[in-house]
Structure 1
Amino acid sequence: MTDTTVAATQRLGIETTGIEIIDESERTAQPKDLFWPWFAANVSVFGISYAAFVLGFGISFWQATLVTVLGIVTSFVLCGIVAIAGKRGSAPTMILSRAAFGVTGQKVPGVISWLVSIGWETFLAIMAVLATATVFEQLGWGGGTGTKVVAAVVVAAIIVLASVAGYHIIMRMQSVLTWVTGAVTILFVIIAAREIDWSAVAALPSGPTQSVIGAFVMLMTGFGLGWINISADWSRYQHRSASGGAIVFWNTLGGALAPVLLVTFGLMLSASNEEVLAGIPSDPIGTLATILPTWFLVPFLVAVIMSLISGAVLGIYSSGLTLLSLGVRIPRPAAALVDGIILTLGTFFVVFVAQDFLGPFQSFLITLGVPLASWAGIMIADIALRKRDYDDDALFDVRGRYGSWDWVSIATMGVASVIGWGLVVNNFAQDAAWNNWQGYLLEPLRLGTYVDDPAGGYWEGAWPYANLGVLLALVLSFAVTYVARRAKVEQQEALVDG
């Protein structure tokens, strides 16, 4: 870009910075600024729907409340730890991960991260379109093809434009969305509170330990771990002298505050209303809308769509940065536009062409969650081992201190993923039978038995649905990396710059 073009885009607030290191003069953000993007992306009545999935594990209200707090908070603490890398290196998450995997080796987890990011943000866009159709139908305004087309165009346009504009506009947008979605969500809780039956809540029986662990892991993966591969993208504008503890705190508070409160409220609501409990898994937005008065349906719809868009914007912005980290040589706004176009095409395809594609799509993305959890364990261990800021130049040089490939990290991720996939099961077995190869370690380890029923196979026992593979991939990768790479990290940090 010419100097004139750069100056013009900067006046418009469009971020032209890509994967390069942020200049010292631009690192003006404070740790408390991290509260806004994380809160805006996670304050949504959609979070209430997770309560039905938690209770689906057959646990009591108090068990569910405990795992809600622990699971969500823990997951965002891990996000906050990865965000520390952003202020140490002032570069996107997947560039900073080169210190652990090597400049070239980082492309292995980078591809997985890109697929997960763009996949889940496409899913959020799809949910926003379907939510619009559902509420319009309840209002009697028609929720057919015309409504979906308009909704898809509007939703995609907002997501693409915001992600192309970049960091500064997104931060301003998120601060506004926080207040709007927060206010409507509070009003929703006040209105829906009349449905709560405390005797029904208290009557929920306790479940076994396996079910509690399963709910805990589901909440971790559904909230913080779903963001962990992009968390440093939002802290790279922090000054290098910013407190790491403060970054973890504001990241955690912004991300976890609303989900903890909303899922807890959802537990009470789902336990009190059997129709809500049964309806959420197949139609979360429509089910929650059924308990609302007609006058509140429009504000409810606006809040749901804005919160889903908020999350999608963060994801598409970061997926564009990940695309650049893989070696695609285009400006950052163009990378965001490319991913935005993919999101738009994916949304139109799922909504209008392959309506039975949603289950297999989610099954594929959840499968990628195992290697992503392994990457997170490796990255967190690498951050814990390092005492110095990153060598900026070496992050872009295969001959630098981080090298081209770190085979210990690559092997750790590979082995942890193979073990992890053996301890998880396909939650969309009917829709994605091609993905039923998972869970191959459960029967040998006597953790469950597969029942081949003509009506649809299923796993017997509590452990198969505890998602142990995700937790094991995270913990095992952290432990191996912390021990096996300690000497190498010390050696890297002992090298003299230049």
Structure 2
Amino acid sequence: MTASQPVQQPAPGFDEATKSRLIETNGIDIISESERTAQPRDLFWPWFAANVSVFGMGYAAFIYGFGVSFWQALVVALIGIPISFVLCGIIAIAGKRGSVPTMVLSRAAFGVHGQKLPGIVSWLLSIGWETFLAIMAVLATATVFDRLGIGGGATTKIIAAVAVAALIVIASVLGYHTIMKLQSVLTWITGAITILYMLLTVSHIDWAAVQAIPSGSVGQLLGALTMVMTGFGLGWINIAADWSRYQHRDASNGSIVLWNTLGGSVAPVVLVTFGLLLAGSDPALSEGIASDPIGTLATILPIWVLIPFWITAVLALVSGAVLGIYSSGLTLLSLGIRIPRPAAAAIDGVILTIGTIWVVFFAENFLGPFQSFLLVLGVPMASWAGILIADIVTRKRPYDELALFEPTGRYQAFDWVSIGTLVVATIIGWGLVINQFAGDAPWANWQGYLLEPLGLGTRTVVDGVEAWDGVWPWANLGVLLALVLSFVVTLIARRGTIVRQEERA
């Protein structure tokens, strides 16, 4: 065996009969060579299906919320969305090299035990995303049923919450192969109905109103860019390698990045662009999106198309949530929880169901708190992504897969350079972002503590609610800074460590 060849270990309990089992038995164990049958183009389907939801149009209202014009918002979408998924594609390369989930691969950068720190953040982020998507599906169901006269009250919401949670959990419990087949089918269904939606609503576009939207400053533009990158590719980056670990070992790295990027970004670019035209044409539509994005978008449709629109919207949201809960289960296992993968997915499903019910029935406003929650976790995740991307592009050889499970192996128990970089970058990053929903989520108002000392803004209180004067506080520079700073520090400070790791046969 040469130094360039990875040490292999069959997945525990794997045999020929495993291939035909309905439920995937692999957890965070090493995927055997006989199971690595996927091609780079296969990555298109899960990413496209998870991001073709009409909810992407709703992001237009959030982008306009930064005070930018249509043309500025369009530039933000055309740049931010593809770049964010390119970063996912780079991390997906590690899945091919290492045959294990993303958070296990991250042990090479943080240490076998040190990885638990970003692992916990990743698990919370995944739980938050999948719950958010489930909530969107329930609210969309209530709105559509109410317009149809069927009733969108408590009973409808309860049934919808249970049904949506059941669909998500069942698919995630069945595992990788079922999800890949499901996503390839959903891609065509959701794509077709989304095109129909655009054809039926194009008459609502008022080009004069869209052009009349005033331009924003550089700070507002950066704020919108950060939000788009966080809401799309960076929101998925902590699970990117989970879907590439079944790739052939000789698959092209460039092809993996390409198909990951195309699958993730093609639909959102089109949807956000169309959403910018709709939201810019109708202020009432833009305002309604803040509380119920998909339900509000349905209000401009003719009655006859509401049912297929509703089915497609729910399936698209479920598709995204399935990716999230499958990976959050793997992350839970990577933290040292010794249970079967299906059980981990089921646990996360229970949490998702409880979270969905609480928000739908008891929370008056959840989009604001959710985005605040997303930004708080987005800073350390951006730092983690910078560290792991630098680690991936520096390595020249495949991972020692067995060492990823051994604290005394070449990756050791803790990598204090990476852990220190994550902590410092996060502290700096939190100091350069603000809670943009201070009234709805006052628990996050502690951020932004570096802005005033650096002369980038002034904290004030308006009607008892925290507010900020100045342009730069809204740019959320801390997210991009955490990403870039962590990448540069890791590229320089850990190069020697990586070389030594790869020299150990």
Q: TM-score, normalised by structure 1?
A: 0.96
Distance 1:249 1:424, change over 3 A: same
Which residue number corresponds to residue 297 of structure 1? 306
Identity of aligned residues (%): 68
1:70 to 58, 61, 79: 79
Superposition pairs of residues 286-325 of structure 1, within 5 angstroms:
286-325=295-334
Structure 1 residue 14 displacement after superposition:
1.3
Where 1:459 maps in the other structure, the secondary structure is strand
Q: Kindly indicate whether the alpha-carbon contact (under 8 Å) linking 2:111 and 2:413 is maintained by their aligned counterparts in 1.
A: yes
What does the per-residue CA deviation read over 1:161-219, in whole Å, with 9 as the maximum and x for residues that have no partner?
00000000000000111111101100001111101122222222222111111111111
Where 1:265 maps in the other structure, the secondary structure is helix
Which residue number corresponds to residue 138 of structure 2? 129
Which residue number corresponds to residue 226 of structure 1? 235
What does the per-residue CA deviation read over 1:258-305, in whole Å, with 9 as the maximum and x for residues that have no partner?
000110111111111222122222221222112111111111111111
What does the per-residue CA deviation read over 1:211-253, in whole Å, with 9 as the maximum and x for residues that have no partner?
1111111110000000000000000000111000000000000
Structure 1 residue 451 displacement after superposition:
1.7
Q: CA–CA distance in 2 between the matches of 1:283 and 1:317?
A: 26
Where 1:452 maps in the other structure, the secondary structure is strand
Distance 1:198 1:283, change over 3 A: same
Amino acid paired to 1:277 = S
Where 2:468 maps in the other structure, the secondary structure is strand
1:57 to 52, 58, 66: 66
2:268 to 259, 265, 281: 259
Structure 1 residue 480 displacement after superposition:
0.4
Where 1:20 maps in the other structure, the secondary structure is coil
Amino acid paired to 2:52 = V
Where 2:462 maps in the other structure, the secondary structure is coil
Q: CA–CA distance in 1 between the matches of 2:251 and 2:352?
A: 35
Amino acid paired to 1:431 = D
Amino acid paired to 1:328 = I
1:336 to 342, 345, 353: 345
Distance 1:466 1:320, change over 3 A: same
What does the per-residue CA deviation read over 1:324-359, in whole Å, with 9 as the maximum and x for residues that have no partner?
100011111111111111111221222234455664
Superposition pairs of residues 421-460 of structure 1, within 5 angstroms:
421-460=430-469
Q: CA–CA distance in 1 between the matches of 2:376 and 2:192?
A: 35
What does the per-residue CA deviation read over 1:387-429, in whole Å, with 9 as the maximum and x for residues that have no partner?
0000011100011110000000000000000000011111221
Which residue number corresponds to residue 79 of structure 1? 88
1:368 to 367, 370, 377: 377
1:14 to 20, 23, 42: 23
Tell me whether 12-21 or 476-485 shows the greater mean CA deviation. Answer: 12-21
Distance 1:207 1:114, change over 3 A: same
Q: CA–CA distance in 2 between the matches of 1:334 and 1:439?
A: 40
Where 1:141 maps in the other structure, the secondary structure is coil
Q: Kindly indicate whether the alpha-carbon contact (under 8 Å) linking 1:49 and 1:266 is maintained by their aligned counterparts in 2.
A: yes
Which residue number corresponds to residue 417 of structure 1? 426
Q: Kindly indicate whether the alpha-carbon contact (under 8 Å) linking 2:290 and 2:367 is maintained by their aligned counterparts in 1.
A: no
Q: Kindly indicate whether the alpha-carbon contact (under 8 Å) linking 1:86 and 1:93 is maintained by their aligned counterparts in 2.
A: yes
Structure 1 residue 454 displacement after superposition:
2.1
Q: CA–CA distance in 1 between the matches of 2:217 and 2:87?
A: 27
Where 1:227 maps in the other structure, the secondary structure is helix
1:178 to 187, 197, 217: 187
Structure 1 residue 43 displacement after superposition:
0.2
Amino acid paired to 1:106 = Q
Q: Any gaps of 5 or more consecutive residues in structure 2?
A: 1-11
Which residue number corresponds to residue 92 of structure 1? 101
Q: Any gaps of 5 or more consecutive residues in structure 1?
A: none
Distance 1:454 1:275, change over 3 A: closer
Distance 1:80 1:134, change over 3 A: same
Structure 1 residue 149 displacement after superposition:
1.0
Q: CA–CA distance in 2 between the matches of 1:358 and 1:67?
A: 21
2:397 to 377, 388, 391: 388
Q: CA–CA distance in 1 between the matches of 2:344 and 2:169?
A: 11
Matched, 1:108 2:112: no
Q: Kindly indicate whether the alpha-carbon contact (under 8 Å) linking 1:350 and 1:358 is maintained by their aligned counterparts in 2.
A: no
Which residue number corresponds to residue 349 of structure 1? 358
Q: CA–CA distance in 1 between the matches of 2:180 and 2:76?
A: 31
Q: CA–CA distance in 1 between the matches of 2:93 and 2:318?
A: 26
What does the per-residue CA deviation read over 1:61-113, in whole Å, with 9 as the maximum and x for residues that have no partner?
22211110100000000000000000000100000000000000000000110
Distance 1:69 1:86, change over 3 A: same
Q: CA–CA distance in 2 between the matches of 1:165 and 1:381?
A: 34
Q: Kindly indicate whether the alpha-carbon contact (under 8 Å) linking 1:429 and 1:435 is maintained by their aligned counterparts in 2.
A: yes
Q: Kindly indicate whether the alpha-carbon contact (under 8 Å) linking 2:66 and 2:224 is maintained by their aligned counterparts in 1.
A: yes
Structure 1 residue 34 displacement after superposition:
0.1
Please, what is the CA RMSD of the aligned residues? 1.6
Q: CA–CA distance in 1 between the matches of 2:135 and 2:391?
A: 36
Q: CA–CA distance in 1 between the matches of 2:42 and 2:502?
A: 30
Q: Kindly indicate whether the alpha-carbon contact (under 8 Å) linking 1:6 and 1:16 is maintained by their aligned counterparts in 2.
A: no
Distance 1:431 1:56, change over 3 A: closer
Which residue number corresponds to residue 405 of structure 1? 414
Q: CA–CA distance in 2 between the matches of 1:303 and 1:427?
A: 31
Superposition pairs of residues 167-206 of structure 1, within 5 angstroms:
167-206=176-215
2:474 to 446, 451, 465: 465
Q: CA–CA distance in 1 between the matches of 2:437 and 2:315?
A: 28
Distance 1:6 1:294, change over 3 A: farther
Which residue number corresponds to residue 155 of structure 2? 146
Where 1:425 maps in the other structure, the secondary structure is coil
Structure 1 residue 447 displacement after superposition:
1.1
